[in-house]
Every structure is written in structure tokens, then in C-alpha cells.
């Protein structure tokens, strides 16, 4: 493999505490090495006056699988004016909020992202998710199967059977080649199968007679029993409703007293995702307001929690979530086309297009809340930037979000541009905030932080010798003052160089190589558990519509390049 040495760049690597010092980064055999370990044949990349970081890590995006594809199928309009033709080995690619798989890989790579997690995999559809992941070039990907409305989980946890829950989780992760335990509107999505919902952590789930709080606590315990790389990853109840911040606080408080137990360097026991959608005050859309402060006060003092933001980007997009009742609520609100899929024994999903208009007060307040969360974070390594792609906006807008976070001037301009800017200012904290995220903090929020939260900090999100050579050079000089904030957006949109596992995949903002992407999954070994195996067999015999033998995601044609992270929970 080619060797590289990236010289004289300003390196930002929170993992090693490097804060913009001039340093060289050397690459050999797909790994980062000390600069004296490369031969004289190493190709030199001149990064003088440029910013060098590890490849960014996406912790939460909906980029592969059945609901993403429903979005593609039912929104031909999303492709208008977006297509780029085939060029050499680079496939044609199109779509805006729900890009084709090829475009997904290419766009992430161009921005310097090299690892991404698909945030909600319905277990029954795991093959579909993996087929799309296979066709998404360059980036390493994992997928989180959803557990929060799973019949096995609810039945075991009703009797507080943590060991059985853990054994089942390990089995499902293996069967679906999944990465982590995801919860979406725990209990509420099962209730949706009857057209109902659970709007607080104490609403009982119909028939199963368990509460969301019990499901969440039980899955935290099962997760830590197994010692998985990532913590539970939760989309709590009551998403998107005015006044929902109390439900969010109730959810966060469930993590109190839990300590993590894992070998992957992870500190948190709960990751709260797209927090913006869960930080709302007011009783209705009229007096809707930001409660980012209340949420961040709690998060800042709780070391065992990480969050991501879910920034609204003010675009027309496509919302999609396993929170089935929420999407029904949304279609009743905006009257745009509604797709729904209820999945036997496991989950559901809904899809509705949405237009975040800067002329609508609520949308502008949502925009402010997302930014406030990041700007109020005391520890940038526990608060990550996402757009919950495509729910709050497409991931391709990350550079714009970064611009807003790094420049108070850019925020001010946007606030002024809102049609209802006075009302927006009154309902939020954004106008008074002058914090500007530094490049070091940015690297914490997009590299070191998410990698650590995912339990991958030995592999990616940093530039320590021995780690995968995922390296990005941005044409952005930390020395020079930024005259126009749009320079920030431009620099982070198209990286000067991107290396994925030592292969140069992007040069001057253009994709030059399809890379050698991997599918990352977690293989947790547990003690033999005949009861769980018998229960699984019984459910397949009686209630599933496929046979157990046809459930597992297996084989080169589905997952050509798997990378298993081994977890030993045998003791």
C-alpha cells in the first residue's frame, strides 16, 4: 500500500491533546505510524496553512435500509437538479435529503467523514440495510438494530430478567450483524400497532404491561451486562411535542446511578440522540419555546450521558423514524404524504416530507435550539453534531452547521433573516450567545467524542500511531481570521485530501477512489442460554412470518467485508 506523509499541517487531535500544533502525520499499510516509520518513497502532502484532523465519525444518521428507501421510492422530486453523472469508476449519484447509496458514500467522504452509523435497523429487514451498506462506497458503516419495542425484550424485562434480555440482545446483534442497542420511542411504537402511543416514561404499553422507564432501565442493565462498545442509544418518548423537555429529563434521570462496564474506553451509559427534538417548552405551537438550558444543565453535570444535537438546517427534507405514532402525528400536522410500516414483533417506521422554512416561527426556534445545545455544552467531547439525517436536515449540511457554530456573525445574519426574528429571539437563548466553537472543540464534537461514545476510539476518530489511517486535510487556516463565515462552510464541504484506511479517496474535494469499505458489527459472546433459544424458536414458529433459519444476515453477497468487534460476556 502507498505511504504518505502529511507535512506541516495544523493538527487537531483531542485524543492526543494536540491543539493545532504544526505536526506531520504519516500513513503506512492503512495505519497511522510515527513519522520516522515511513520510507523515503512516501508521498508528501503539503498541508502548510491547512487543518488536519482524523476522519469524522457520524454517530446517528438514517442512510441505509427500508425507511430510507421508502423515502427514495416515494419522493422522485427529491432527485431534481441533484444528479452527477458517472465518471470513470465513480457511479452516477443523485438525491438531496435521501441520496442514493453511492451519493451517500461520496458526500460523506468529500466532507471528511470516514465512519457512519445507520441509526435504526428494523431487525427483520437487516438484509436490506446491509445490502444498502454494501452499495455505499468508502465509509465504514455499522447499524443499530432497534430493541425498544421488541416483544422478547418487553416480556423479559416485565419479569426483570436482565440476563435473558442480554442473551437475546447478543443473539439479535449477531443475527442482524448489528452494532448497538437502539431504542426508539420505547413502548410507544408497540402501542402504535393499535394506533396508540406512550407519551411519558410511565405510560404502560398496551397488553405488555410494562412502562418505557422499565424498558430503558432494563436495556441499560443488559447493555452493561454485556459490556458492549456503545451504550444504549435512545430516541426517547414524546418526540417533537411542545413541553416535551420534561419527558426528556425523566428519561435522562433513568441513567442515574448506573456506571459503565466495558473494555472499549466508553464512559457513558446512555446516548440521547437528536436532543433538539426533545428540548421543547410551551404548551402549544403558539407559545413553543426553547428548553435547551434545562436539558444542557442536566447533561453538563451528568458524566454518564452523551448526546447529539439534531440540528435543523432550514431545508426541505424527508423525516423518517421508527417512531411510527410521531410520523402519523406529523402528517396530520403538515398534510404531506405519509408512509408507515409496522414490523411484526419488533418495531415500526414512518416517513413524511417536511419543510423547515425560515419563515415559520417554530422551525426557526428549532434551528436555534439545536445550536444552543452545542453552544451550551461544557464538555465538547460529550456533545456531537448531527442533523439526525435526514430528519432535521441532510447530512450534507454539516459544513453549514459548523459555520453557525464557529461564527456568531453567521448566526446573527441568519437570525436577522428570519421572518419572525423577534418572536424567535424571545423564545430562545441564541441571540445572546457569543460562544464560537473552536477547531479543537469541533474535532471533539465530530471525531474523538463520537468515536469514544461508540467504543471505537482505539480505531478511529484520532491520529495516534496504530489507529486506522482515516485522515482529512481541510483547506482552512487556523492562523488567519475568517473574513467571511462562508469560507468555513466552503472549507468543510470539500476536503483537500481524505484518506480512508490509508487510501486517498478524495483529492481537492473530488472522489478519486471507491475505497474498501467495511461493515462494523458487534459479536457478543454469552453463556449458552437454552431458555432464550427456546423462546426464539417458539416465536418464529408461531408469530413471525419468516422461518428462523431465514432470518440471519449472512454471506458475502450481503456483507462482503465484515469487521467484527468481539465482546466476551461469558463470565
C-alpha cell at 223: 447493555
Look at residue 563 and give its three-state secondary structure.
strand
Gyration radius (Cα) of the chain, Å? 22
Phi-psi region of 71 (alpha: psi -120 to 50; beta: other; left: phi over 0): alpha
Stretch that binds another protein, among 73-81, 139-147, 390-398, 529-537 (CB under 8 A): 73-81
Q: Give DSSP secondary structure letters for 243-307.
A: TTHHHHHHHHHTTTT-----SS----SEEE--GGGG-EESSSSSS-EE-HHHHHHHHHH-TTEEE
Q: Does the protein bind another protein through residue 560 (CB under 8 A)? A: no
CB within 8 A of 439, min separation 6: which ones? Answer: 10, 12, 20, 51, 53, 406, 478
Q: Does the protein bind another protein through residue 108 (CB under 8 A)? A: no
- In the list 60, 128, 291, 397, the residue contacting another protein (rule: CB under 8 A) is 128
Stretch that binds another protein, among 60-68, 163-171, 253-261, 389-397 (CB under 8 A): 60-68
How far is residue 130 CA from its own chain's centroid?
17
- In the list 207, 253, 263, 484, the residue contacting another protein (rule: CB under 8 A) is 207
Q: Does the protein bind another protein through residue 345 (CB under 8 A)? A: yes
Q: Does the protein bind another protein through residue 419 (CB under 8 A)? A: no
Q: Does the protein bind another protein through residue 91 (CB under 8 A)? A: yes
Provide, rounded to whole angstroms, the least separation between the CB of residue 206 and another protein: 10
Provide, rounded to whole angstroms, the least separation between the CB of residue 105 and another protein: 12
- From the CB of residue 434, how many other CB atoms can be counted at a distance below 10 Å? 8
Q: Does the protein bind another protein through residue 481 (CB under 8 A)? A: no
Query: Within 13 Å, how many C-alpha atoms sit on residue 560's CB side?
Result: 11
| Cβ proximity to another protein, 127 vs 230, nearer residue | 127
Return the residues of window 308-337 that contact another protein according to CB under 8 A.
Answer: 328, 331, 336-337
Asked if residue 203 lies in contact with residue 212, where contact means CB atoms within 8 angstroms, the answer is: yes
Stretch that binds another protein, among 50-58, 494-502, 526-534, 540-548 (CB under 8 A): 540-548
Stretch that binds another protein, among 98-106, 244-252, 253-261, 473-481 (CB under 8 A): 98-106
Reduced 3-state DSSP string for 523-554: EEEECCCHHHHHHHHHHHHHCCCCCHHHCCCC
| Cβ proximity to another protein, 340 vs 507, nearer residue | 340
Question: Residue 434 and residue 405: Cα distance in Å, rounded?
Answer: 10
Question: Residue 342 and residue 193: Cα distance in Å, rounded?
Answer: 7
Q: How many residues bind another protein (CB under 8 A)?
A: 62
- In the list 7, 79, 464, 494, the residue contacting another protein (rule: CB under 8 A) is 79
Q: Does the protein bind another protein through residue 423 (CB under 8 A)? A: no
Question: Residue 57 and residue 108: Cα distance in Å, rounded?
Answer: 10
Residues forming the site for another protein (CB under 8 A):
64, 66, 68-69, 72-76, 78-79, 83-86, 91-92, 94-95, 98-102, 124-125, 127-128, 131-132, 135, 193-195, 207, 328, 331, 336-345, 348, 351-352, 542-547, 549-550, 554-555, 557-558
Amino acid at each position: 500500500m502507498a505511504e504518505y506523509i502529511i507535512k506541516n499541517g495544523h493538527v487537531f487531535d483531542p485524543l492526543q491533546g494536540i491543539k493545532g500544533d504544526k505536526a506531520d502525520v504519516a500513513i503506512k499499510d492503512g495505519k497511522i505510524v510515527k513519522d520516522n516509520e515511513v520510507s523515503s518513497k512516501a508521498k508528501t502532502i503539503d498541508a502548510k496553512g491547512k487543518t488536519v484532523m482524523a476522519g469524522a465519525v457520524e454517530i446517528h444518521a438514517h442512510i441505509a435500509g427500508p425507511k430510507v428507501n421508502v423515502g427514495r421510492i416515494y419522493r422522485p422530486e427529491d432527485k431534481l437538479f441533484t444528479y452527477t453523472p458517472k465518471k470513470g469508476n465513480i457511479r452516477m449519484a443523485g438525491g438531496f435529503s435521501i441520496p442514493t447509496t453511492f451519493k451517500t458514500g461520496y458526500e460523506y467522504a468529500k466532507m471528511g467523514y470516514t465512519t457512519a452509523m445507520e441509526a435504526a435497523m428494523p431487525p427483520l429487514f437487516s438484509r436490506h440495510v446491509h445490502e444498502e451498506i454494501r452499495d455505499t462506497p468508502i465509509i465504514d458503516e455499522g447499524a443499530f438494530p432497534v430493541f425498544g419495542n421488541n416483544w422478547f425484550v418487553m416480556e423479559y424485562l416485565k419479569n426483570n430478567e436482565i440476563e435473558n434480555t442480554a442473551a437475546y440482545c447478543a443473539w439479535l446483534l449477531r443475527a442482524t450483524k448489528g452494532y448497538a442497542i437502539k431504542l426508539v420511542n420505547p413502548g410507544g411504537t408497540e402501542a402504535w400497532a393499535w394506533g396508540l402511543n406512550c407519551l411519558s416514561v410511565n405510560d404502560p404499553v398496551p397488553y405488555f404491561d410494562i412502562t418505557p422507564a422499565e424498558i430503558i432501565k432494563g436495556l441499560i442493565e443488559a447493555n452493561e451486562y454485556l459490556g458492549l462498545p456503545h451504550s444504549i442509544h435512545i430516541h426517547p418518548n414524546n418526540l417533537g411535542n411542545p413541553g416535551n423537555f420534561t419527558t426528556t429529563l425523566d428519561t435522562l434521570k433513568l441513567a442515574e446511578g448506573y456506571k459503565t462496564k466495558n473494555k472499549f474506553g466508553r464512559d457513558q451509559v446512555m446516548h440521547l440522540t437528536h436532543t433538539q427534538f426533545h428540548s421543547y417548552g410551551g404548551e402549544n405551537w403558539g407559545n413553543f419555546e426553547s428548553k435547551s438550558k434545562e436539558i444542557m444543565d442536566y447533561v453538563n453535570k451528568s458524566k454518564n450521558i452523551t448526546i447529539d444535537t439534531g440540528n435543523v438546517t432550514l431545508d426541505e427534507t424527508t423525516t423518517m423514524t421508527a417512531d411510527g405514532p410521531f410520523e402519523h402525528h406529523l402528517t396530520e400536522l403538515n398534510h404531506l404524504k405519509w408512509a408507515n410500516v409496522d414490523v411484526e414483533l419488533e418495531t415500526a417506521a414512518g416517513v413524511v416530507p417536511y419543510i423547515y422554512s425560515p419563515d415559520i416561527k417554530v422551525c426557526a426556534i428549532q434551528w436555534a435550539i439545536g445550536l444552543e445545545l452545542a453552544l451550551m455544552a461544557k464538555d465538547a467531547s460529550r456533545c456531537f453534531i448531527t442533523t439526525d439525517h435526514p430528519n432535521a436536515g441532510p447530512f450534507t449540511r454539516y459544513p453549514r452547521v459548523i459555520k453557525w457554530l464557529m461564527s456568531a456573525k453567521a448566526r446573527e445574519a441568519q437570525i436577522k433573516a428570519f421572518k419572525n426574528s423577534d418572536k424567535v429571539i424571545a423564545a430562545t437563548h441564541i441571540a445572546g450567545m457569543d460562544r464560537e466553537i473552536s477547531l479543537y472543540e469541533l474535532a471533539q464534537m465530530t471525531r474523538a467524542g463520537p468515536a469514544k461514545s461508540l467504543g471505537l476510539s482505539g480505531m478511529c476518530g484520532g491520529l495516534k500511531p496504530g489507529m486506522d489511517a482515516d485522515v482529512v486535510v481541510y483547506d482552512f487556516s487556523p492562523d488567519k481570521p475568517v473574513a467571511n463565515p462562508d469560507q468555513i462552510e466552503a472549507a468543510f464541504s470539500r476536503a483537500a485530501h481524505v484518506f480512508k484506511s490509508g487510501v486517498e479517496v478524495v483529492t481537492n474535494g473530488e472522489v478519486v477512489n471507491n475505497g474498501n469499505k467495511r461493515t462494523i458489527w458487534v459479536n457478543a459472546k454469552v453463556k449458552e442460554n437454552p431458555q432464550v433459544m427456546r423462546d426464539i424458536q417458539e416465536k418464529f414458529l408461531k408469530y413471525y412470518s419468516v422461518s428462523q433459519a431465514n432470518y440471519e444476515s449472512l454471506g458475502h453477497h450481503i456483507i462482503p467485508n465484515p469487521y467484527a468487534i468481539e465482546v466476551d460476556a461469558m463470565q
